[in-house]
Amino acid sequence: MSRLDSVIDRLMAQRACLDAAAAAVSSVPGPVLELGLGNGRTYDHLRARLPGRRIFVFERQVNAHPDCIPPDEDLFLGDFMDHLPEAMLRIGEPAALVHADIGTGDKQASMALAATIGSAVVDLMASGGLLLADQPFGDRRLAPAALPDGVKPGRYHMFRKTDA
């Protein structure tokens, strides 16, 4: 697989997972959390797929396309761990969907970041809500959820929060 093939494969898998997750949380009340705004591609996609849902964004430094910058009141600017532990005070209700697209080119560092933020992320989720992520997360309250057809295992990760 060429590097171009790999990028296309990754983005198609990401879009398929976002679409599947958005449909799967249609009956779960609550906002959406986007961890990692980047250039705003997935934020924009979630806005389109989940109109009417408030989307809170966590990002260290905003470098997004001008059309994809969240309003100040929905942005947690800074390191994830500067805000996640206290975020419920502002968010006000458990999240139906968390999308964590947090990876850099450094696989070990990205997995370590997921391990660091995992518990605080799950604390913010509604029971029955989904965590969709580019990294594996491990938490006793998370059960693996099926990926959409055509998405290779390990390409993306989807979990449902249980009552455990």
**DSSP-derived secondary structure for 54-81:** -EEEEESS----GGGPPPGGGEEES-HH
| Pick 18 or 126: Cβ nearer ligand SAM | 18
Closest separation in Å from C-beta 38 to ligand SAM: 2
Closest separation in Å from C-beta 43 to ligand SAM: 7
| Pick 103 or 148: Cβ nearer ligand SAM | 103
Q: Residue numbers of the site for ligand SAM (CB under 6 A)? A: 36-42, 59-61, 79-80, 101-103, 113
Closest separation in Å from C-beta 41 to ligand SAM: 3
Report the alpha-carbon distance of residue 42 to residue 3 in Å, rounded.
Answer: 21
| Pick 107 or 127: Cβ nearer ligand SAM | 107
Amino acid identity for residue 79 in this structure: D
Beta strands in 6-149 (DSSP E): 32-35, 55-59, 75-77, 95-100, 125-133, 142-144
